[in-house]
Structure 1
Amino acid sequence: MTSGEPLGAQTSIRDVSQLGDFTATPRMITITALALPVGAVSAVVAWTLLRLIGLITNVVFYDRLDTRLVAPGVGHHNPAVLLLAPVIGGLVVGLMARFGSEKIRGHGMPEAIEAILLGGSKVQPRVAVLKPVSAAVAIGTGGPFGAEGPIIMTGGAIGSLFAQFLKMTADERKTLLVAGAAAGMAATFNTPFAALMLAVELLLFEWRPRSYVPVAAAVAVATIVRHPMLGSGPLFPVTGSLHIDLGTYALCVVSGICAGLLAIVATVLVYAAEDLFHRLPIHWMWWPAIGGLIIGVGGLIVPQALGVGYNIIGMELDGSIGLGLVVGILVVKTLIWSLSLGSGTSGGVLAPMFMIGGALGTLEAHIFPAVGPGFWALVALAGVLGGVMRSPMTGVVFALELTHRWGALLPLLIGASTAYAVSVLLLRRSVLTEKIARRGYHLSREYDVDPMEILFVGEVMVEGPLTFTGDVPAGDALAQVSGTDPQTVLYRRQMLYPVVDQAGCMTGVVTRTQLESAANEKRDDVAVGELALTDVVVADPDEILRVVVARMAEHAVDRMPVVDRHDRRRIVGFITVTMLLAARVRDLEEASHSERVLKVPRRLAASRHARPDGDDR
């Protein structure tokens, strides 16, 4: 019957043979095999959606049957078509959302995140059909959106539906959902690495082999399937050499600041527009049509701002776009995209951000020194993407894979990281997470190592807990833990007491509540061995705290005995939920406690101040 102090150091070598850098099981191979067809199907869906957008665009604006992906603004258009086509498209989307599924509203990624975090990664079958069709209608009739958001949601729906037909955990469904989403994105832009980065930074909410490997496999398959259908080259090939000096790197910081501020303006406009639409005294079904009217007015001013705009992005990146058009794109595209997206229509974020960021960079190219064709457009493109989506690494990799301009890696890193810093300092949430927050949920995108992953039970447990032999009367045991002296108070807080035999081996546990109940029932003489619970949940001193937390949650207990790893009946300590907080306390101290580790030696400091001229004589 002894108590101990927290165990500070191990006297023997800790057994860590059961631990590894990562946790992975053969189940990962099964999920990877299932992700392969998901990736292939998602690539086909991406190709189909792009062709459907091309078909609708050609029919509406060019009066021809063709599936090539084109954008409005090439040649002359009837003003009535420019004004009314987006209105009709918005009306169709509103009807589809009202009588089909409201989940098709928005740009896709918040909906995918919500399905992962709140819906057990379960997507309705109708979303897999209605989302791409509604996006094709919205974009094909002039909507200034990208196809990637709807493709991400559709690919995710395919992965989720596939998983729902099988017996899987929510985490496994999430993996296949993200595999489909990332595969669709890779197939759209021929950017497998960027799609994988987007999955890690935005959708998986973890960095584990169990999810990374299947998603990588799906992305690889989707990219391979894409090549014969959409080509294997970069979407926006750029040629010409770059002439980068030290001044260029400094100006990349300036470009990043501008891109971050523009990203904030665009995000604020989207949700300011959403707030305005919520105040309208009409059903939300009609909002996309009103958003379409805004698009139509913008199309009358700058027709090239309508549609996906890949041709405009290409002109920005190769430096062949005129200054007047750039100003029009920057102002009109930003306004009609943000205001119409706030109406709840269906469309993506990436392509508009490419065009808006490219326009900003093209303007900068008229001020900054020449570095190479489209260089500043590329830097600003990555910056705006990093600022809007709060995903700087995705922005950098996207820009590189879209153009294959690998020599711009460092400038892109500087610009995107600067924009990211500006965005996170001045705006609490991104365009992707604000929508989720407005529904009353909180999403954190910060990742760090859980301190419970690196601390062991033996480092926080109390050695030598109070134990009772099985023949001790319940009344005597209760009396021993009912005093007011400090040692007895510690015993009372233990609440769970191991019961041992004469050899000191644990036979069960008894709770303070059981002892009190026996006293209330006038059964003070009953032996604690008769009250003991024999199905005991225990911990091992060499286990990490995360494992113990999970075990406590699984068995609904908040304290447990710690037993020797070689003899599971020998008690070596005791651990409670409160002791587990020691890991958090250490983490908090590392984050908040400031100290000066190295100091200038006094003799050196004195010699510096002894003679200003440095002469020690």
Structure 2
Amino acid sequence: MPSTYKKTKIPLLWLRRHTSDREFMLVSSVLVGLTAGVAAVILKSLVHYIQVLLAYGNRLLDQPYWLVVFPFIGILLTVLIVKVFFKGSIGRGTANVLFNISQKSSLVERHKMFSHVLTSGITSGFGGSAGLESPIVVTGSAIGSNYGREYHLNYRDRTLLLAAGAAAGIAAVFNAPIAGVLFAIEVLLTDISISAFIPLIIAAVVGALSSKIILEEDILFNISKTEFFAAEHVPFYVLLGILCGIISVYYTRMALWVEELFEEYQTSALKRAVVGGALLGLLIMLFPPLFGEGYNGIRLLERGDAPLLLQDSWLAFFGTNEWLILGFVGALALVKVFATTITIAAGGNGGNFAPSMFVGASAGYFFSRIINMLHISNLPTSSFSMVGMAGIMSGVMHAPLTAVFLIAEITGGYTLMIPLMIVAASSFALVKYFEPYSLDTKKLAQKGQLLTHNKDRTILRILKIQHLIETEFQPILPEATLGELVEVITHSRRNLFPVVTADGRLDGVILLENVRGIMFKTEKYSQVKVKELMIKPPALVDYDDSMAEVMKKFDESGAWNLPVLREGIYLGFVSKSSIFTKYRKLLIKTTNVS
């Protein structure tokens, strides 16, 4: 271990021993927030300076064909780095963090403290059509998790620091500490007490300050122009919320569909990268604003400079007709999901945070402009573009509070708070009806690996039959006599006895209460056989049954113990009481700080 690391660690070990748990957590939240904030600064700066380097000299990015070539190169470089340095997999997205929380006791691999900064920086820096926010969430989570592991914190404290790291990362990227805290609560921690807010707030504030102090203004994403809210526009905001909900459902389903298409290339990372890079290049050739995260396009829409989106596009040949521009913006809202999902599925590293904002801004602009062009009303396109971002974020990520406060913070005020709440709530309500889970959590939920949502059901899915089989039940052969059964009963502490054949198959069971009346009649010890006394078990549990199926069998049979078989062979019993005991232990272990 390097000496500098030891020098850093020794004071914290002293602090750990000489302070209360709460005090140590407060100090830890500062350090985790600072580290995650610096990581976000490094990531944003890496992307910025890669693009500056690529555009140096002859202004390569001003040549349209480079917009096609660079993203392809970025995906290939990312795939090669992951394959050579990280054994072919680094675990992408918020879903991976949720998996670590529910299935790995909030332990995140150490390499994720830097691997996502490097790979997502290259992917996005070279123009990959994906956001940096999911990678910084993974990075911040890894920083918090490994800090907790290093200082031997328990599961609950380690999970809280994991969330604090993620909050700091989001806060640093957007200079939005409130949104960072709400993201951690809405997405990562769904059962959290008030006392846990303090470490999250501290980490988010420190992360935001890190980026504000270090980063240049043009690297941070913020909006300075906002327009006032007019009450007469409320019906239009409701309609925009419904439109955002519909687009969010479309976004989620199309993203999952594209991912499924790329699953056939899972065995060949290089082939996946080539196919995906080529498809992404084709999309960018048709729609140049798909190049990169999309924040530049958002700024153009917010400033009312939508005609500039056609720059480098073949559609520019047809001039700047308003309907042509409107159609182009509407198309961008629909095709961005393909560009983003292809970037990620092909092997690039990124997320759907920034792309959902881009889609939302496009949808808001499209809606307001078409209302204005049809002379139905005179809507402020800038405000509708900003509010549309909250609508799509709320629908795709299932995080309406994060969406509302993020847009409020990056616009530098709360003048749009009412329309933000209207659109985010309308979109979320509609999406929730069609898609109970967000894009990031849907697959985890289908596998029963989403502990932070529907915890009761998930804990049951975590429980496995093989960990609950009790084998201390004394088996007896069906041909054995009553006397032999009494001998077995004498040396057993259980009141249930499986009747098992010589080849290990279960014939029946004997309950002590059913033989109590005959077991003291010694004259029948040699006359009565066990097979005459056994009964059929009320239900049989298969070794591969899910815990939900097992509990259903317990409920229907009314039994407290059921035999477990594997391909007909008797293994032991599972008891309802042992399931409840294990369930309570898991529930206590996975409950966040109180």
Contact 1:143 1:292 in 2 (8 A): no
Across the two proteins, how many residue pairs are aligned to each other?
A: 429
Aligned to 1:376: 384
Aligned to 1:41: 35
Contact 2:240 2:388 in 1 (8 A): yes
Contact 2:368 2:380 in 1 (8 A): no
TM-score scaled by length of structure 2: 0.66
Compute the displacement of 1:115 (Å). Answer: 1.2
Aligned to 1:346: 349
TM-score scaled by length of structure 1: 0.64
Show the 5 A alignment for 1:283-432: 283-322=268-307, 324=325, 326-368=329-371, 369-432=377-440
Aligned to 1:31: 25
Aligned to 2:196: 211
SS at match of 1:44: helix
Match 2:140 to one of 140, 143, 155: 155
Compute the displacement of 1:131 (Å). Answer: 1.2
SS at match of 1:407: coil
What's the CA shift string for 1:270-297, capped at 9, x where partnerless?
A: 1111111112485245423422222211
Question: What is the identity percentage for the equivalent residue pairs of Structure 1 and Structure 2?
Answer: 25
Contact 2:273 2:347 in 1 (8 A): yes
Question: Equivalents in 1 of 2:221, 2:245: separation in Å?
Answer: 25
Cα pair distance change 1:240/1:156, threshold 3 Å: closer
Cα pair distance change 1:266/1:443, threshold 3 Å: farther
SS at match of 2:302: helix
Report the AA paired with residue 86 of structure 1: P
Question: Equivalents in 2 of 1:127, 1:237: separation in Å?
Answer: 31
Question: Equivalents in 1 of 2:429, 2:385: separation in Å?
Answer: 20
Contact 1:88 1:289 in 2 (8 A): no
What's the CA shift string for 1:322-368, capped at 9, x where partnerless?
A: 36252453244232113333335310221111111100110111133
Cα pair distance change 1:46/1:101, threshold 3 Å: farther
Contact 2:100 2:107 in 1 (8 A): yes
Pairing 1:117–2:102 present: yes
Cα pair distance change 1:77/1:406, threshold 3 Å: same
Compute the displacement of 1:443 (Å). Answer: 4.9
What's the CA shift string for 1:429-466, capped at 9, x where partnerless?
A: 21110232455534563699xxxxxxxxxxxxxxxxxx
Report the AA paired with residue 50 of structure 1: K
Show the 5 A alignment for 1:168-247: 168-230=153-215, 235-239=221-225, 241-246=227-232
What's the CA shift string for 1:75-101, capped at 9, x where partnerless?
A: 62251x332322222122222333415
Contact 1:94 1:286 in 2 (8 A): no
Match 1:433 to one of 438, 441, 445: 441
Contact 1:97 1:285 in 2 (8 A): no
Contact 2:259 2:341 in 1 (8 A): no
Cα pair distance change 1:244/1:218, threshold 3 Å: same
Contact 2:106 2:145 in 1 (8 A): yes
Compute the displacement of 1:394 (Å). Answer: 1.0
Show the 5 A alignment for 1:475-514: none
Cα pair distance change 1:167/1:210, threshold 3 Å: farther
Cα pair distance change 1:240/1:438, threshold 3 Å: closer
Question: Equivalents in 2 of 1:281, 1:181: separation in Å?
Answer: 29
* Larger Rg, first or second structure (1 or 2): 1
Question: Equivalents in 1 of 2:379, 2:150: separation in Å?
Answer: 54
Question: Equivalents in 2 of 1:438, 1:85: separation in Å?
Answer: 36
Question: Equivalents in 2 of 1:300, 1:438: separation in Å?
Answer: 36
SS at match of 1:279: helix
Aligned to 1:475: none
Contact 1:104 1:346 in 2 (8 A): no
- Name the one with the larger helix percent: 2
Cα pair distance change 1:243/1:113, threshold 3 Å: closer
Aligned to 1:496: none
Pairing 1:98–2:83 present: yes
Question: Equivalents in 1 of 2:360, 2:223: separation in Å?
Answer: 17
Compute the displacement of 1:240 (Å). Answer: 5.1
Compute the displacement of 1:167 (Å). Answer: 1.4
Cα pair distance change 1:168/1:201, threshold 3 Å: same
Structure 2 unaligned residues grouped into runs of 5+: 1-18, 308-321, 372-376, 457-510, 522-559, 561-575, 581-594
Report the AA paired with residue 358 of structure 1: A
SS at match of 1:375: helix
Contact 1:261 1:423 in 2 (8 A): yes
Report the AA paired with residue 353 of structure 1: S
Cα pair distance change 1:432/1:212, threshold 3 Å: same
Superposed CA RMSD in Å reads: 3.4
Compute the displacement of 1:320 (Å). Answer: 2.6
SS at match of 2:370: coil
Aligned to 2:72: 87
Aligned to 1:254: 239
Aligned to 1:452: none
Contact 1:190 1:232 in 2 (8 A): no
What's the CA shift string for 1:39-87, capped at 9, x where partnerless?
A: 0111111111111111222233x1359xxxxxx9x962251x3323222
Question: Equivalents in 2 of 1:316, 1:339: separation in Å?
Answer: 24
Contact 2:357 2:389 in 1 (8 A): yes
Structure 1 unaligned residues grouped into runs of 5+: 1-24, 66-71, 449-511, 523-557, 559-575, 581-617
Pairing 1:63–2:56 present: yes
Contact 1:257 1:418 in 2 (8 A): yes
Cα pair distance change 1:296/1:245, threshold 3 Å: same
Question: Equivalents in 1 of 2:131, 2:41: separation in Å?
Answer: 14
Aligned to 1:50: 44
Report the AA paired with residue 221 of structure 2: L
What's the CA shift string for 1:183-233, capped at 9, x where partnerless?
A: 011001011001100100011232224532211111111122222113689
Contact 2:75 2:346 in 1 (8 A): no
